[in-house]
A and B are shown apart, each in its own frame.
Chain A
């Protein structure tokens, strides 16, 4: 009894889903059929009566192909949890140049509205995903649509056939009923393999997207590196170099005064010693900002432990793995952790934090949690956006969950072949 009930439930949802698949895949054919009917009505022999139907067919197909594919993807994702990535080309930023014109990546326009519109259509035209969508709208009615049509067609045959007295028609009606009952729970499932096979991004699209990503990352890395070198140059120029000049001056003066005024000479030498100590302190801070010594000497985990010890927070470090990663990845993760903990102190006013370094199947996962007041978000140009960019250079990701009132949880993931 229970089996019968569950079969009935799955048959009901199955037939509803099959109808939905059928409707979505028949939208474009319906437009074509409507256009043909219109042409025949206006006079099949007269070529002029086909102009409007042709326009309707072209416009309707182009306008409907993307929504149809979206609906298909949505239905499949909702019913089967199979997410088919769309792979549409993303629009770049539209920026205002110093001349007052707007640059959208393709050309200049007078207003930002024009620039956005122009960008949208150029991307739509050149996007390989558009051609894939068109192809899908042609394929869908004959694959997923045809299979999904079985239950409704069977029901229709049963209703029509069983209502007639002839034995042949009755036999067809019984056959239709059998087909409808047999296929009702399963017919919609055909939509999934069809969507996976024909709606996913083609290798060429995936490559094009990867090239876009890498180009953006390379630009980011170059900019970040140049900024970093400028910072180091400025620190050295204003700090250690200036102090060494002062040191040389003090020593020269002390040498001169040695004979005539030994007391002042001695005071100058003491000053010079203090200056040397100060410039060493500055250099040490500069070095630990470029590359913390413990990171070079002991690796990521020891460096994180050392950082935790020096932090004003109560920081717990949990890590079970003992391994050295590539130095650039270690450095990026170290500075990422340092930034997250510093944010917990400065912005979230946390009192304790927890750092967990672990590995999963594909790479390294670093979790940083604090008990602060939350509200952290990745804002353009902010520190977290910078961190995300730096991790992206290694195909790493940063996820932040930080509701108002806390707590903040940040997760950095970096894929590593060396694990």
Chain B
């Protein structure tokens, strides 16, 4: 894949480039500031971009803004946001345009390189990768907790993994269950929550998140 890496700290940028190249991907450009990121994304049109939230010049949320601006001009441009902290607020902004191909992970998710590359490829294909920390916060929140009271523990964990953006096969691998068992769980929990099921990952994630956030 052709990848753009936007990260202002040299050590992390360098490590990220080496990790991606070790998995056989090509880093076509690196950026260290918000404006540079926007320019690189628009000029290179990568298969996927890895973008840090906080970048110069103002050290606020330049990276996130650049990614959102680029997706505004090139709808569906796959972007994986990496950050030291994850916020539901930012996750919603990323998912808001509904065109898919977004990821939002904590920086330490690169510790498990296989899973990280997996998530990156999922985003590049137009899927979704949400950090478990965002999902945990979401499922623990006020309005959604009441809605989830009818679910069994197993359905709950399937829902959490689904909200991260995993497919049925991937959920099955994580939980050591067969595909058919997972699809049984998803059907029953979609039924309990009243969400219409379809096989597109991103639509599934959006359905789950929208449902949980409804006041």
Q: Measuring CB to CB, which residues of chain A are less than 8 angstroms from any residue of chain B?
A: 273, 276-277, 280, 284, 287-288, 293-294, 296-298, 302, 305-306, 309-315, 351-352
Q: Are A306 and B145 in contact (CB under 8 A)?
A: no
On chain B, the residues within 8 Å of A277 by CB distance are 108, 111
Choose from A287, A296, A314 the contact partner of B60 (Cβ within 8 Å): A296
Could you pull out 21 A-B pairs where Cβ atoms are within 8 angstroms?
A276-B111, A277-B108, A280-B108, A284-B85, A288-B85, A293-B87, A296-B60, A297-B53, A297-B61, A298-B61, A306-B87, A306-B88, A309-B89, A309-B137, A309-B141, A310-B137, A311-B141, A311-B142, A312-B140, A314-B215, A351-B142
Q: Which 10 A-B pairs have the closest CB atoms?
A: A297-B61, A309-B88, A306-B89, A314-B142, A297-B60, A293-B85, A306-B87, A280-B108, A313-B142, A277-B108
B 126-140 binary contact with A (CB < 8 Å = 1; else 0): 000000000001001
Give the docked Cα–Cα distance between A310 and B142 (Å).
Answer: 8
* Cβ distance B57 to chain A, nearest Cβ, rounded Å: 13
The answer, yes or no, to whether B72 is at the interface (CB within 8 Å) is no
**Chain B interface SS verdict (over half):** mixed
Q: A297-B53, A298-B61 are in contact. Are A315 and B142 (CB under 8 A)?
A: yes
Give the docked Cα–Cα distance between A232 and B60 (Å).
Answer: 23
On chain A, the residues within 8 Å of B108 by CB distance are 276-277, 280
Give the docked Cα–Cα distance between A118 and B141 (Å).
Answer: 57
Nearest residue (CB) in A for B89 is A306
* Cβ distance B61 to chain A, nearest Cβ, rounded Å: 4
Give the docked Cα–Cα distance between A294 and B108 (Å).
Answer: 19
On chain B, the residues within 8 Å of A287 by CB distance are 84-85
The answer, yes or no, to whether B201 is at the interface (CB within 8 Å) is no
Choose from B54, B106, B140, B143 the contact partner of A297 (Cβ within 8 Å): B54
Q: Are A273 and B111 in contact (CB under 8 A)?
A: yes
Give the docked Cα–Cα distance between A298 and B59 (Å).
Answer: 11
* Cβ distance A396 to chain B, nearest Cβ, rounded Å: 25
Nearest residue (CB) in A for B138 is A309
On chain A, the residues within 8 Å of B112 by CB distance are 273
Q: Are A293 and B84 in contact (CB under 8 A)?
A: yes
Among B53, B112, B142, find the residue whose CB has the most chain A CB atoms closer than 10 A.
Answer: B142
* Cβ distance B207 to chain A, nearest Cβ, rounded Å: 19
* Cβ distance A230 to chain B, nearest Cβ, rounded Å: 24
Among A276, A277, A302, A310, find the residue whose CB has the most chain B CB atoms closer than 10 A.
Answer: A310
Choose from A273, A276, A293, A314 the contact partner of B143 (Cβ within 8 Å): A314
Q: Are B60 and A298 in contact (CB under 8 A)?
A: yes
Nearest residue (CB) in B for A345 is B142
Give the docked Cα–Cα distance between A310 and B138 (Å).
Answer: 7
